[in-house]
Amino acid sequence: MRCSYRKKIIYGVITILIFIIFSHPGLYGRSSYEFIEKHNILKYLHEEVNVNLTSNAFTNCDYHDIINDETTLSPNLIEGDLVEGHGIRDGGEYIPQDCRPRFSTAIIVPYRDRAEQLRGFLVYMHTFFRRQRIHYRIFIIEQVDSRPFNRAKLLNIGAVAAINAGFPCIVLHDVDLLPLRPSNLYACTKQPRHMSSSINKFRFVLPYLTLFGGVISIRTSQYKMVNGMSNEYFGWGAEDDDLYSRLRACNFKICRFGPEISQYHMFSHKLQRKGKLRSDLLSFARKRMAADGLSSLHYLEVATVLHPLFTHIMVDL
Ligand code: UDP
Ligand code: BGC
Ligand code: MN
């Protein structure tokens, strides 16, 4: 009697384990994908700085050693402090002083109700960027209303703020993702780039080849060409697939760096409720492209505050 009870428990545990293993996206993903080889990265970068940038440095910054940096950072950096005299300006902007930067990047983060993750993200990212010698600024776009979260619309709002501030390149960045390799340069490539292709959550495997979410970089001119992202995706899912579809419609081909360089750590968090309309919206992505995006972006700007480590834009969608 006791023996058969024990057997049942063992079978139960084995079944659950098999289910967990087979339902994991990493199992079906790509451990290899097409990417720009390390020695070609500098050639593929799009060199351009913010129109408002002034620098008194005599020499241009060099990025060879950064691309070849073999260091892997620890996510524990989130618990540390920034170095004294870090030189970050109000609004979360940094300009290297000892050389003239060749890239200006706006980091745009969609945000609501994840205060702990945000604090860790800001400390980590400003520490990470110290090695990169780029000009950058961090924009946090917070949804203050209580409708389902709309990641893509927040990113559009951030993109407009970055464009108005003169940035030629934007990185659209989830708050729960930390880049582990300083060699993952936060600069735009000639083609839009999927940057987070190797995440711990997916066992460092790319779940599917057309994935274009998490962290991506794109030139603002290209973002405008596809009319930005759709404003209609409330709730989780498919807004990033919609952007991919827009890019393909305009004949852009996305690129990636290798899986070693593209490693990210994702914090665990509870799942958002899935967007009800996401599949219907995605199936008509190309048709809506011209009328749904930057051209139809309406919202109420509640406040914009320049904090020591970031520009905080609060919006009611
Ligand atoms: N997000 C947020 N608050 C929320 C939901 C989402 O700040 O309540 C932002 C945050 O930047 C997060 C991103 O939207 O990293 C993507 O959402 P989520 O992490 O839930 O999706 P995942 O990519 O993990 O499936
Ligand atoms: C969703 C995307 C998401 C991806 C990875 C897809 O099913 O449509 O929005 O980024 O899964 O989680
Ligand atoms: Mn997440």
Q: What is the pLDDT of residue 308?
A: 96
Residue among 125, 176, 278 to mutate when testing ligand 1 (max atoms within 8 A of CB) = 176
Residue among 209, 211, 254 to mutate when testing ligand 2 (max atoms within 8 A of CB) = 211
35: Cβ–Cβ under 8 A, 6 or more apart, which residues? Answer: 197, 255, 256, 257, 258, 259, 262
- For CA atoms 232, 238, 240, 243, the dihedral sign is negative
Q: 174 alpha carbon to ligand 1 midpoint, in Å? A: 6
Q: 266 alpha carbon to ligand 3 midpoint, in Å? A: 7
pLDDT tens per residue across span 76-93: 999 988 888 789 999 999
Residue 203 near ligand 1, beta carbon < 6 Å: no
- For CA atoms 47, 52, 53, 58, the dihedral sign is positive
**Residue where the block lists tokens 């460092």:** 204
* Residue 207 backbone dihedrals phi, psi, to 5 degrees: -60, -40
- DSSP code of residue 58: S
- Whether 24 is covered by a domain: the verdict is no
Contact 80, 123 (CB under 8 A): yes
Q: Which CATH number goes with the domain that contains 115?
A: 3.90.550.10
CA distance 160 to 260: 32
Q: 277 alpha carbon to ligand 2 midpoint, in Å? A: 14
pLDDT at residue 156 above 90?
Answer: yes
Q: What is the pLDDT of residue 165?
A: 98
- Whether 5 is covered by a domain: the verdict is no
CA distance 97 to 61: 10
Ligand nearest the Cα atom of residue 118: 1
- Whether 138 is covered by a domain: the verdict is yes
Q: What is the pLDDT of residue 115?
A: 96
The mean pLDDT value for 224-240 works out to 98
**Residue where the block lists tokens 């274009």:** 212
Q: What is the pLDDT of residue 27?
A: 53
- Whether 15 is covered by a domain: the verdict is no
The mean pLDDT value for 36-52 works out to 97
Residue 112 near ligand 1, beta carbon < 6 Å: yes
pLDDT mean across residues, the chain: 93
Q: Is the whole-model pTM more than 0.75?
A: yes
Query: What's the domain count of the chain?
Result: 1
Range(s) of the domain holding residue 248: 33-316
Residue 272 near ligand 1, beta carbon < 6 Å: yes
- Whether 13 is covered by a domain: the verdict is no
Query: What is the residue-wise DSSP string for 116-140?
Result: HHHHHHHHHHHHHHTTT--EEEEEE
- Whether 7 is covered by a domain: the verdict is no
Residue among 175, 199, 270 to mutate when testing ligand 1 (max atoms within 8 A of CB) = 175
CB-based neighbours (< 5 A) of ligand 3, an ion: 176
Strands 193-194 and 215-219: antiparallel
pLDDT at residue 26 above 60?
Answer: no
- Whether 137 is covered by a domain: the verdict is yes
- Whether 16 is covered by a domain: the verdict is no
CA distance 150 to 98: 40
Ligand nearest the Cα atom of residue 149: 1
Q: 127 alpha carbon to ligand 2 midpoint, in Å? A: 29
CA distance 218 to 162: 12
Q: Give the residues surrounding ligand 2 with Cβ less than 6 Å away.
A: 207, 211, 213, 237-238, 240-241
Q: What is the pLDDT of residue 202?
A: 93
pLDDT tens per residue across span 54-63: 999 999 999 9
